[in-house]
């Protein structure tokens, strides 16, 4: 089995993933105040309860969005490491082939 990787292509993908991770993090931070700032529509217990539920759901959504952004960042790092490893390995292989 022959394995081939195009470092430039994987490097471009890593850059894209890194950018998406940053964009997701910034987007989540930007919407956090309004999402977490739900206030009761009235003074009754149902309104208070509903506002609490809205804030809890918003907090969970922001936590999941944050985890997703971190996962994209880690994937980007893994891709960058794969590019560096492949390039270094190919340089060593080429040097060994000339001996």
Alpha-carbon distance 21 to 83, whole Å?
19
Residue-wise pLDDT tens digits, 41-98: 999 999 999 999 999 999 999 999 999 999 999 999 999 999 999 999 999 999 999 8
CATH annotation of 7-97: 1.10.287.850
Give the pLDDT confidence score for residue 99 in this predicted structure. Answer: 84
Residue 2: band (very low, low, confident or very high) from pLDDT cuts 50, 70, 90:
low
Whole-structure pTM value = 0.78
Annotated domain spans of the chain: 7-97
């Amino acid at each position: 089995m022959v394995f081939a990787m195009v470092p430039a292509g994987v490097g471009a993908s890593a850059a894209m993933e890194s950018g998406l991770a940053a964009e997701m993090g910034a987007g989540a931070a930007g919407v956090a105040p309004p999402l977490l700032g739900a206030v009761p529509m009235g003074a009754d217990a149902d309104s208070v309860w509903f506002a609490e539920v809205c804030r809890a759901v918003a907090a969970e959504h922001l936590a999941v969005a944050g985890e997703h952004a971190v996962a994209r960042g880690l994937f980007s790092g893994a891709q960058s490491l794969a590019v560096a490893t492949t390039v270094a390995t190919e340089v060593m292989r080429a040097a060994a082939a000339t001996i």
